[in-house]
Amino acid sequence: MNDRAVLRARGLRKEYGKGTGLVRAVDGVDLDVAAGETVAVMGPSGCGKSTLLQLLGGLDGPSGGEVWLAGRRIDQLGERALGRMRRTDVGFVFQAFHLMEELTAVENVELPALLAGRSPRAARRRAVELLERVGLADRADFLPSALSGGQRQRVAVARALSNEPAIVLADEPTGNLDSAAATEVLRLFERLHEAGQTLVIVTHDARIAATADRLISMRDGALVDETRLTGGSSGQLGAFVGLEG
């Protein structure tokens, strides 16, 4: 595997059901994501974006094909090894935040580090630092229910970074947010990108897609188009998503 590729998929497939009910959710995907690259994935509802992300991050196993993450083939790992890999090499951000409601912001953020075996002191130190980084140091002891949607998602991003993952996978991270909150989260992803974090973001938000190095378009389980955006080609993106350049 090319050492610059943090993530690589080859011939990746996922089928649900069988017979006449068979759904080819992911249907032969080849993908390389280089270190430090941000890739946006766009496509209509039901085209397989979430399934693809789950396969790439080892949340689910493929029906066929290969996934390589941080130099290691993960599609054939057993449940234990896969769990370890997910905790240390991947950070997930979901549309619905998926925070633990009974834990405070800082407790949510330190949880992955604790699960990965870090000492409570080290985990807490890292969590406080991450909350500072996402601009929520003053909300560390708040429960998620006392935070706005944008703040919750920033806590979720901080949690995703807890173990310094090789890659962050985000599934419609602004899908549940109003426009102001979406902007906060968008800025955060931009800063992560600038800091060199490797990112794959599934999004319907053209503004998020515009921050990516590459925009990939998905239809019926397959990647059908790719646009390279690096180099200030926002006019190109405008044409692609049907906005004014």
Q: Which of ligand ADP, Mg ion, none lies near 45, with the C-beta cut-off 5 to 8 A by kind?
A: ligand ADP
CA–CA dist 140, 132 (Å, integer): 9
**Interface stretch with Mg ion, choices 26-34, 46-54, 162-170, 227-235 (CB under 5 A):** 46-54
DSSP letters, 40-104, are EEE--TTSSHHHHHHHHTTSS--SEEEEEETTEE-TT--HHHHHHHHHHHEEEEETT----TTS-
**Per CB under 5 A, 54 contacts Mg ion:** no
**Per CB under 5 A, 50 contacts Mg ion:** yes
Taking the complex as a whole, the smallest distance from the CB of residue 13 to ligand ADP amounts, in Å, to 12
Taking the complex as a whole, the smallest distance from the CB of residue 80 to ligand ADP amounts, in Å, to 22
Q: Residue 176 CB: number of other CB atoms within 10 A?
A: 16
The number of angstroms, rounded, from the C-alpha of 62 to the middle of its chain's C-alpha atoms is 18
- One residue of 2, 4, 16, 179 binding ligand ADP per CB under 6 A: 16
Q: Residue 7 CB: number of other CB atoms within 10 A?
A: 26
Q: Which of residues 21-60 bind ligand ADP (CB under 6 A)?
A: 23, 25, 43, 45-51
Taking the complex as a whole, the smallest distance from the CB of residue 241 to ligand ADP amounts, in Å, to 16
CA–CA dist 212, 207 (Å, integer): 9
Taking the complex as a whole, the smallest distance from the CB of residue 242 to Mg ion amounts, in Å, to 21
Catalog residues that contact ligand ADP under the rule CB under 6 A.
Answer: 16, 23, 25, 43, 45-51
